Structure 1
Amino acid sequence: MAKHRRDVAKDSIIKSMLPANTGLDIFESSAGRGELAIELQDAEHRVRVSNFKPGSLQFDIPEDIVNLEAGLPYEDASFDVIICREVIEHIACNLPLLKEFARCLRPGGTLILTFPNKLSLPSRLYHLFTGFYNGLKSPINPGVFFGEAHVNLISYHEMDYLLRDSGMSQVVGRSSDIRPGAWLTAPLIPVVRLLTWYFLFQYKKKAQEHRKDKPEFVAYNREIYEAITSTELLLGKDVIMSARKN
């Protein structure tokens, strides 16, 4: 089965975030059928994948059956790159898994995550009128098997914080999927940028956990501001983040 055009675009950005050399040790968590993994293997990388249960993988790639909620069965510093593609929103507690990813990365290694863009303008408008977000548009039905629904939507700035708390830095955010209808919300971009600037840099400058009166906090807020007010992340349906292990 051919990849959907949205997956082609997403995987193209993921591959652009890889270190620029061959022979990398790459782990893709919950890789599904393994389309991206086989492309990386064909590009002369050493690839290992996991899935929650057997039967999904369709290519000859080393596969482990792993419950990501229970940790990773790998030694410290095992991989140059870890990819977690459209999985993290299915995990109830993100921080323990992110710390496991960091543990299994070599120093300077790259972590790449993709997940639904909770803070896109279409998603914000949907939330305004329904109380739900794109990616979780209605309540999860009782009895749905845990992990098969989006149980933990997370925003860009929340993920940035968790990545840094896990020992990562040099965080970069992109989006690969801007739907035509999203452009209808584009007239709101200047207003959103202005209000976001005010609340990130001016509002309650000395609130204890959100202080804005020190240069290092201003610099961090500026990084977040530039990311979440970019046209890509204001209109895109997904987020693709990369970070490097310190």
Structure 2
Amino acid sequence: MSKYTDIRIGGEIVRKHRRDIKKDAVICAHIPTGPCKIFESSAGSAILSRQLKDQGHDVTISNYYPQKFPDIKEIFQDLNQRLELDDDQFDVVICREVIEHVESVPHVLREFNRVLKPGGKLILTFPNRLQIRSRFMHLFSGFYRGMKSPINLDVPYGEAHINLIGYPEMDYFLRKTGYDIEAVESSYFQSSDKVFKVLQPLIRLTTNYYLLKYKKKAQEHEKTKPENIAYNTFIANTLLSDDLFFGKDVIVTATKKA
């Protein structure tokens, strides 16, 4: 069976990977049905954005290497710099498998927050380095899936995964840069990973111990205040969910605080 499906965008037939179709279905489920003003950062070939435009949304994209689409607004943008966009103008910002390439995750999240309208949504996807198979890879090699070995020094800066972080760190950055977490999901699973399901109860036990019991009064990791217990419980439950335990990607929907 082919990994690709032909889809129509406007009058053009393009090939789309089945993995991308699944990811974009999760993304689109969080986009309001009415016409929205949407920004997709580093959109590449912009297949998703062009589909959203066909659905009636007002779409702007950025690329570091402009693709010059005749039917969609595009800006040249280095995400490590200030976005060349006005404040409070978008209903939705999409950052799809890009955040792991940037120098400073908090900087990029602040910029997305700036251009979002109050109550607007950021839909962010990135590799799940804490997926169970990736954890085993790290145990035996020191590297995670998504960055399986050192980056070659002749690779241009930012083209590889230079900032591959786990969900707990991303959650912290999102909350600290002005977002509330709405949903945490995955779209990409391998059936063979179900062999690791037998380990889930043990990992649940150890995760809950370290996040809720271990060194309860340690500086910066205090675990006795109700708000800290609630937050650590949320992180533990998210990591132990089937989506993040088995899924190869993380899809976070976050809302800009009003």
- TM normalised by structure 2 equals 0.92
* Aligned pairs (5 A) from 1:165-180: 165-180=176-191
Contact 1:28–1:82, Cα closer than 8 Å, also in 2:
yes
CA pair 239-59 structure 1, distance change in 2 beyond 3 A: farther
Label 1:194 to 1:211 Cα distance change in 2 as closer, same or farther (>3 A): same
Larger % of strand: which?
2
Contact residue 216 and residue 224 of structure 2 kept, 8 A: yes
The CA distance in 2 between the partners of 1:88 and 1:58, in whole Å, is 23
Structure with the bigger percentage of helix: 1
The Cα RMSD (Å) is: 1.1
**Structure 1 stretches of 4+ moved >2 Å:** none
Q: Which residue, 212, 234, 241 being the options, matches 2:252?
A: 241
In structure 2, the partner of 1:11 is: 24
Q: 1:32 aligns with which of 44, 49, 52?
A: 44
Asked whether the 8 Å contact 1:33–1:59 carries over to 2, the reply is: no
Matched, 1:92 2:103: yes
Distance 1:206 1:8, change over 3 A: same
* Residue 180 of structure 1: how far off its partner (Å): 2.2
In structure 2, the residue corresponding to 1:3 is in which secondary structure?
strand
Residue 155 (structure 1) aligned with residue 166 (structure 2): yes
- Counterpart CA distance in 2 for 1:72 and 1:223 is 32
Q: Deviations over 1:99-124 (max 9, x none)?
A: 00001111000001100001000000
Taking the aligned partners of 1:71 and 1:134, their CA distance within structure 2 comes to 30
Aligned ranges for residues 47-66 of structure 1 at < 5 Å? 47-55=59-67, 60-66=71-77
TM-score (norm 1): 0.96
Q: Give 3-state SS (helix, strand or coil) of 2:122's partner.
A: strand
Q: How many aligned positions are there?
A: 244
SS in 2 for 1:148: coil
Deviation at 1:59, TM superposition (A): 6.2
Which amino acid is the alignment partner of residue 25 of structure 2? S
Aligned to 1:121: 132
Corresponding residue of 1:81: 92
Q: Which residue does 2:226 correspond to in 1?
A: 215
The percent of aligned pairs where both chains have the same amino acid is 50
Q: Secondary structure at the match of 1:23?
A: coil
Indicate if the aligned counterparts of 1:89 and 1:151 stay in contact, CA closer than 8 A: yes
- Aligned residues of 2:181 and 2:252 also touching (Cα < 8 A): no
